[in-house]
Structure 1
Amino acid sequence: MDWQKGERSQNVEVDSGGGGGGPRFGGGRGMGIGGIVVLAILGLVFFKDPTALLGQADSGGQQVAAPSGQPAQVDPQTKDFVSAILGSTEKTWGDIFAAHGRQYVDPKLDLFSGGVNTACGAASTAVGPFYCPGDQRVYLDVSFFRELESRFHASGDFARAYVIAHEVGHHVQNLLGVFDQVEQARRRGARMEGADGLSVRQELQADCFAGVWANHSQQRLQWLQPGDIESALNAASKIGDDALQQQAQGRVVPDSFTHGTSAQRVKWFRAGFDSGDIGSCNTFAGTP
């Protein structure tokens, strides 16, 4: 991937240690989409324990401390890469929103180390990359790219770019009102977890939006190289619920799915990439 062609974003921030945007409250009060039950849809791509996102010591809304975090040490090339990918998402989604008569609001991307406070609560490295709708920020631990390659055997610049684009996909959902609609459905008793649950459908839509970004950025920049799409599809397949459950516990439990199977994640990224059309990303209709 010739990522150097990408437009640089001015919205990448390096955390100084346990920082982050927005109020620091426990119990999910900063989310804007409900309580702890919907943590699974906040972009926890790598199937980590969702309760790690919040300071759970106090669920009554009192302020809680963030996990121990240190000032993030980010090498210039990594920050430049993240800035290039985020900048390309800003251009892509800005153009798409404008074509539909809407204005795209750029998210911030916070590079942190160890732990961070967010408007959704305190998060640790264990959470993995995530998006917080309360402060409209994507959070990414600086060690994650190494974990992506060593733990998930998903290497390549485009695999890393896919992760960022997926989280930005959640930001797009937030701007489009999808988060609010999911929360309303949850309040009416709709199922969140499980192979057919709303959490899976929302995560798959973020995968599809990542594919839409890949299509548009490639048309504009011609920056993909042989094997890049395969690396993104490989990353998607390695982080399916079934693959992660099989790896972790030796069995698959569809009733506890939150992000979709490997095949589903590949399918929906490919749907977005092949069409370049957000209209192809209605994962809430029919079988996901």
Structure 2
Amino acid sequence: MRLGDERESDNVDDQRGSGGGGGRSPIRIGSIGGLILVLGALYFGVDPRLVMGLLDGGSSSGVVSTQSNQGLVPQNDSQKRFISQILASTEDTWGAYFKQMGRTYHDPRLVLFTGGIQSACGYAQTSVGPFYCPADHKVYLDLAFFQELQNRLGAGGDFAKAYVVAHEVGHHVQNELGIMAQVENGQSGAPDKGASGSSVRLELQADCFAGIWAKRANDAKSILQNGDIEQGMNAAAAVGDDRLQKQAQGYVVPDSFTHGTSAQRVEWFSRGFSSGDIQQCNTFAAPSL
């Protein structure tokens, strides 16, 4: 990617080494924030039952314990700069797009953490993976995820990292457009669960929005280089439900899908990138995914 001296976002909160921002409070599974956090677990191929324990309200025993990496982390490293530049690019892209639509885009904040973090959606640990919390309009990211993405899932490269950030920002765009509220209120027209359920459609739409960002950012500033889009597609495929389930348990259970298959994730990212048009990302109106 060609980012050069592109600006860095002012909306990055670096909480690495801070201890995770407070105590452990449970996330309610009925909330869209809890839903997004559960979906985030599938990035790592984590057994959703572990995360459901985290989401189960009431007892502290429902929180999964882990060691925190807090402490010796440089606060102005190259990865932070890269993420800040990508976030700034999404701000510019979506700000301009919303202005075209006669709307105002409110920038999300991105929180860097290690080990665990307290969000408005509850306490989450690194094993959950990157996630967006609609209750506080923040993206949460442990940079260690990128090493996992490359080493275990085989999806390395700068654009793979950019895709992850753009996908999570895509959830913020959904929040800004009121799509998340429709899903939470049961107004999406899709079943709650399953291979064609609202969870899958929400995730595939975020992939499509990531594609829109890539196209519009590149049209504006030529940030892409040869192989970048292939890296993005590889990352999208790496976190498909079918591939993660096959890797984790040796077989696939479509009824438990939350993100969509590898092919679907690549398809919807590609659709956003080829069109640059939100109207082409309406997964909830698609008869088939």
Q: Unaligned 5+ residue runs, structure 1? A: none
Are 1:156 and 2:134 counterparts?
A: no
1:33 matched to which residue of 2? 32
Among 48, 66, 86, the residue aligned to 2:46: 48
Report Cα offsets for 1:116-144 as digits up to 9, x if no partner: 11111111110011111111111111211
Report Cα offsets for 1:6-42 as digits up to 9, x if no partner: 3310111111423459x9642428x9637x5665456
Counterparts of residues 1-288 of structure 1 (less than 5 Å)? 1-15=1-15, 16-20=17-21, 25-28=25-28, 33=32, 36=34, 39-41=37-39, 45-50=43-48, 56=54, 59-60=57-58, 69=68, 70-71=70-71, 73-74=73-74, 76-185=77-186, 191-285=191-285, 286-288=287-289
3-state secondary structure, aligned to 2:106: coil
CA-CA distance at 1:244 after TM superposition: 0.7
CA contact (8 A) 2:41 2:51 kept: no
CA contact (8 A) 1:119 1:135 kept: yes
3-state secondary structure, aligned to 1:284: helix
Report Cα offsets for 1:150-171 as digits up to 9, x if no partner: 0111111001100000000001
CA contact (8 A) 2:117 2:124 kept: yes
CA contact (8 A) 1:54 1:123 kept: no
CA distance in structure 2 between the partners assigned to 1:179 and 1:212 by the alignment: 19
CA distance in structure 2 between the partners assigned to 1:171 and 1:57 by the alignment: 21
Pick which of 140-149 and 205-214 moved more. 140-149
CA-CA distance at 1:243 after TM superposition: 0.6
Q: 1:61 to 1:131 in 2, by over 3 A?
A: farther
- Residue identity over aligned pairs, in percent, reads 54
CA contact (8 A) 2:211 2:269 kept: yes
TM-score (norm 1): 0.88
Q: 1:33 to 1:147 in 2, by over 3 A?
A: closer
CA-CA distance at 1:59 after TM superposition: 1.3
Counting matched residue pairs gives 283
CA-CA distance at 1:149 after TM superposition: 0.7
Q: 1:37 to 1:78 in 2, by over 3 A?
A: closer
3-state secondary structure, aligned to 1:219: helix
CA distance in structure 2 between the partners assigned to 1:259 and 1:57 by the alignment: 19
Q: CA RMSD in A?
A: 2.8
Report Cα offsets for 1:33-90 as digits up to 9, x if no partner: 37x566545686444345656874871499x989654247145111110000000000
CA contact (8 A) 2:208 2:269 kept: yes
CA-CA distance at 1:184 after TM superposition: 1.2
CA distance in structure 1 between the partners assigned to 2:59 and 2:231 by the alignment: 42
CA distance in structure 1 between the partners assigned to 2:149 and 2:189 by the alignment: 35
Q: 1:57 to 1:163 in 2, by over 3 A?
A: closer
Q: 1:280 to 1:5 in 2, by over 3 A?
A: farther
- The amino acid that maps onto 2:79 is T
